[in-house]
């Protein structure tokens, strides 16, 4: 019995890895999704830079909001395109017919979406640091970005699988996503601002706790309902 459980666990993990690697390999060949996300994110950064004439102190106070607005919009673009490509190419039906637990498909897609989002953030952070003359490479801030990105992709992957079945999928995903993801955005902005403004850790900790709890709860919810979402 133990051997069977270990075998099933190994197969489950391999299925997750196969789905994630499929997306990453396809993107390495086409560079369609990452290029769109990067161009969009950099355009937003440049627009903010040239439209807001801010002094050094004000820049520090608005940095967290500008960053997370950029991450949210670029991430939504990536989530929408990621699942739409699967649908348009007929790959989604093939994945659903594969003899694996469908939650493995969810985790594989979520991991690849998270990887794309982290790559975009890795490019945006140094560009923003140079344009705004702000040090963003702080361990605490990087932790907040990771936690916020996990929560964003956990919910976004589930909702993109739901909205891709509709004719108005490009509009439907933001309408579904932003109200649900609002706690992550607020907590991430507050925690990021706390690190940038060197606030005491006890003022940042509640927002970190909110991010962690949100990530755990919504990842568990997505794990339980993904099978029903794709059936619809």
Give yes or no for residue 31 having a pLDDT over 90.
no
222 or 84, higher pLDDT: 222
Give yes or no for residue 126 having a pLDDT over 60.
yes
Helix axes 56-88, 169-196, angle to 10 degrees: 150
Q: How far apart are the first and last CA of the chain?
A: 34
> Does a structural domain hold residue 27?
no
> Does a structural domain hold residue 212?
yes
What's the pTM?
A: 0.90
> Does a structural domain hold residue 11?
no
Helix axes 56-88, 32-51, angle to 10 degrees: 160
CA distance 211 to 176: 19
pLDDT at 145: 95
CA distance 14 to 19: 9
CB atoms within 10 A of CB 220: 11
Q: Which has the minimum average pLDDT: 49-58, 122-131, 161-170, 183-192?
A: 49-58
User: pLDDT tens, 17-28?
Assistant: 888 888 888 888
Span 140-161, mean pLDDT? 93
Q: Give the count of alpha carbons within 13 A of 38, CB side only.
A: 12
The 8-class DSSP code of residue 197 comes to T
Span 73-97, mean pLDDT? 76
Give yes or no for residue 130 having a pLDDT over 60.
yes
Give yes or no for residue 9 having a pLDDT over 90.
no
Q: Among candidates 89, 56, 77, 93, which has minimal Cα distance to 196?
A: 56
User: pLDDT tens, 52-74?
Assistant: 766 666 677 788 888 999 999 88
pLDDT at 174: 86
Q: Angle at Cα 218 formed by Cα 152 and Cα 26, nearest 5°? A: 50
What domain range includes position 136? 32-90+117-231
> Does a structural domain hold residue 23?
no
190 or 132, higher pLDDT: 190
Q: Angle at Cα 82 formed by Cα 63 and Cα 185, nearest 5°? A: 30
pLDDT at 143: 95
> Does a structural domain hold residue 102?
no
Number of domains in the chain: 1
Whether the CA torsion 150, 39, 169, 109 is positive or negative: it is negative
Per DSSP, the three-state class of 1 is coil
Span 10-19, mean pLDDT? 83
Give yes or no for residue 1 having a pLDDT over 60.
no
Cβ–Cβ under 8 Å, residues 32 and 61: no
**Contact partners, residue 141, CB within 8 Å, separation at least 6:** 192, 195, 196
Residue 107's alpha-carbon distances to 71, 158, 166, 201, in angstroms, are 21, 10, 22, 32
CA distance 59 to 213: 30
> Does a structural domain hold residue 98?
no
Percentage of the chain surpassing pLDDT 90?
36
């Amino acid at each position: 019995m133990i051997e069977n459980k270990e075998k099933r666990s190994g197969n489950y993990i391999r299925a997750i890895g196969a789905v994630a690697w499929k997306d990453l390999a396809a993107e390495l060949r086409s560079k369609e999704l990452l290029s769109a996300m990067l161009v969009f994110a950099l355009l937003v950064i440049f627009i903010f830079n040239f439209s807001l004439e801010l002094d050094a102190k004000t820049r520090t106070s608005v940095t967290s909001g500008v960053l997370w607005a950029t991450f949210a919009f670029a991430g939504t673009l990536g989530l929408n395109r990621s699942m739409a490509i699967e649908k348009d190419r007929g790959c989604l039906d093939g994945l659903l017919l594969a003899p694996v637990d469908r939650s493995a498909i969810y985790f594989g897609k979520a991991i690849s979406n998270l990887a794309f989002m982290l790559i975009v953030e890795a490019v945006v952070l140094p560009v923003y640091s140079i344009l705004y003359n702000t040090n963003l490479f702080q361990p605490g801030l990087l932790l907040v970005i990771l936690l916020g990105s996990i929560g964003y992709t956990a919910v976004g992957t589930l909702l993109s699988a739901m909205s891709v079945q509709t004719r108005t999928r490009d509009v439907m995903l933001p309408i579904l996503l932003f109200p649900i993801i609002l706690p992550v955005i607020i907590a991430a902005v507050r925690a990021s601002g706390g690190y940038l403004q060197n606030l005491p850790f006890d003022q940042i900790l509640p927002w970190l706790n909110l991010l962690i709890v949100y990530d755990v709860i919504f990842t568990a919810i997505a794990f339980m309902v993904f099978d029903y979402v794709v059936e619809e």
